[in-house]
Structure 1
């Protein structure tokens, strides 16, 4: 501690540098568009069955268009600008979110498992997600929307790093 009561940091922590795949915003947009499409269909059916109260239909349509613009256009671009990851011999470091942002640092010595997940849209676009489970009450660290070959390399890299320092991981 310094005389002013502050803590001196030994190393300056730099934001993680690696972004998700360039396809990530498109995958996130398509994933967000699916429920909005269902809402549009429901509103069309509602209008056909009850064409009275035009003001209510217009208000619902305007709210839906605003929701589509925000969640299908703005949020995927925003998420892409925020999401980052980095792997060093000492730690896995991620930054994620859009409205609420989270930074996670997981020491490699605490890594227990490394998994990949590929949902239907991920497979369609050739993406994968990596989950790094650690001995932490905060839960796993997720590196999302990676090109499949990058995800496979990360899994291999983390497995190699964790094997070198396999003394703890509890």
Structure 2
């Protein structure tokens, strides 16, 4: 999924430069102008999905949800079950293509929701059900 998304982004960027550059009169398009962009995009497609896979992590315990994200700097977040307000899953077009889904855990935190991306759809549905059950079992008002 991440490779496909990165490829779509890279192709869109090249298409944007190829179409908008000459149309807006910014420059006369030459092949040597596109080559560095294509090489940069190819590097992006080769590196970014693997990097995301190595960095992004999540875990659910009896007491909390843990996530880890980040590119240059890592962010680790913990959402205690007592702070969970809603648990949702969604699918964009690329996720649907691969049978994947994303789970979003909304808490009372000012830092915003925790997200777990690229889960198998069945796993995402089970995670939503599990977190909903666990959060409901904890006393408190999630504030």
Q: Could you say which TM-score interval applies, normalised by the shorter chain?
A: 0.7 to 0.9
Q: Indicate the RMSD between aligned Cα atoms, in angstroms.
A: 2.4
Residues 52 and 106 of structure 1: is their aligned pair in 2 closer, same or farther, counting only changes over 3 Å?
closer
User: TM-score scaled to structure 1, two decimals?
Assistant: 0.73
1:2-151 aligned within 5 A: 27-42=1-16, 54=30, 57-58=31-32, 60-151=33-124
Q: Shift of the alpha carbon at 1:101?
A: 2.2
Listed one character per residue, the Cα deviations across residues 103-135 of structure 1 (whole Å, up to 9, x for unaligned) are 111111100000001000000100000000001
**Aligned residues, how many?**
140
User: TM-score scaled to structure 2, two decimals?
Assistant: 0.85
Based on CA coordinates, which of the two structures has the bigger radius of gyration?
A: 1
Alignment check: 8 A CA contact 1:29 1:71 kept: no
Q: Shift of the alpha carbon at 1:35?
A: 3.0
Q: Shift of the alpha carbon at 1:38?
A: 2.9
Q: Which runs of 5+ in 1 are unaligned?
A: 1-26
Q: Which runs of 5+ in 2 are unaligned?
A: none
